[in-house]
Structure 1
Amino acid sequence: MRRPLLFLDVDGPLNPWAAQPYGRPEGYTTIVVALQPGRALPVWLNPGHGEALLALDYDLCWATTWMDAANRWIAPVVGLPPLPYVDFGAGLFALRPDGVHWKTEAIVAYAAGRPFAWVDDEQSPADEEYVGRAHPGAALLHHVDPRVGLREEDFTALAGFAAGLRT
């Protein structure tokens, strides 16, 4: 059996952007990313996250607005190799009338029936319903608090889901 996919969002799970008013969380480092000329974006990343993610029984894949830029800016800091990514193309930030997140349909299509977990800070019950209808495989939509990013309990939940697929 192939390992499940783990779709990774950057802003929220890896970059706890909502912690800004409270200060950088312990264990995180700051990088400044210039994605567009004249616009610098501070990003907080935990260098230990890569090792923890690689220890999970998943094939990792970016599912982020950063798309391939995550391999250049994020992966080296957190200790990940270059990863495949979901190309959201024209669907980037496209609002849906049914309340489903703009990433959800593309993630389900990318998974192509393969079991997956998706860590993000923007999922809703509408996404759970969509995945339940449109995806024939097992799926875990795991919400990560964007004030704290990925924590031990998140890794435990992800490991438990993957282990449950083998039984």
Structure 2
Amino acid sequence: MSTTRPKPYLLIDVDGVLNPSISNRQAERAGFVTKRTFDSAGWRYRVFLHRQHGAWLSAMSDRFELAWATTWEGIADREFGPILGLPSLPVASLNLRTHYSKVPGILDFVGDRPFAWLDDCEALALVAVPNLVVHVDDRVGLTLRNLAAARTWAKRLPR
């Protein structure tokens, strides 16, 4: 009797990944939608989102279980996911009031499951769980090349 392993997580950051550091004019030319929203502390932010990113991420669900790993936490799922056409996704609680880094919250969330993490700035120290941090250029945002790197890594994992 063989046991099927759960899919690895594909952890999704928002700022710098789905919301690149670009000007209003650049966002408009590239087809981004502007979303004005409040964070959990009540600060008002402008977020650029591209519906194409949602389609690209949805296509990754054949190989991964998608989850949010962003300081936006549940706001990403409630406000950004629908714009991107994503279903409701699990959310890693990053607990940034206690930790300076996202890493402890991510490791608590993934447990012993392998994961690929789309992020623009974090790095992981050696951890026992197979993982890949896919660095996304915050001036560009998510690309098909970033997703191809995650897919290639996942194909090498034992099933």
Counterpart in 2 of 1:116?
115
Runs of 4+ in 1 over 6 A off after TM superposition: none
Distance change >3 Å, CA 144–CA 106, structure 1 → 2:
same
CA distance in 1, matches of 2:151, 2:119: 16
Task: Return the TM-score normalized by structure 1.
Answer: 0.82
Gaps of 5+ in 1: 96-101
Deviations 1:127-160 (CA, angstroms, capped at 9, x unpaired): 2xx2x2xx32210011101111101111111111
CA distance in 2, matches of 1:147, 1:93: 29
**2:85 partner letter:** G
Counterpart in 2 of 1:51?
55
- 1:94, distance to aligned residue in structure 2 (A): 3.6
Distance change >3 Å, CA 13–CA 164, structure 1 → 2:
same
**Does 2:159 match 1:153?**
no
Gaps of 5+ in 2: none
**1:40 partner letter:** R
Distance change >3 Å, CA 120–CA 43, structure 1 → 2:
same
The percent identity for this pair of structures is 34
Distance change >3 Å, CA 105–CA 76, structure 1 → 2:
same
CA distance in 2, matches of 1:48, 1:10: 14
Counterpart in 1 of 2:136?
144
Count of paired positions: 152
**1:55 partner letter:** A
> C-alpha root-mean-square deviation of aligned residues, in Å?
2.2
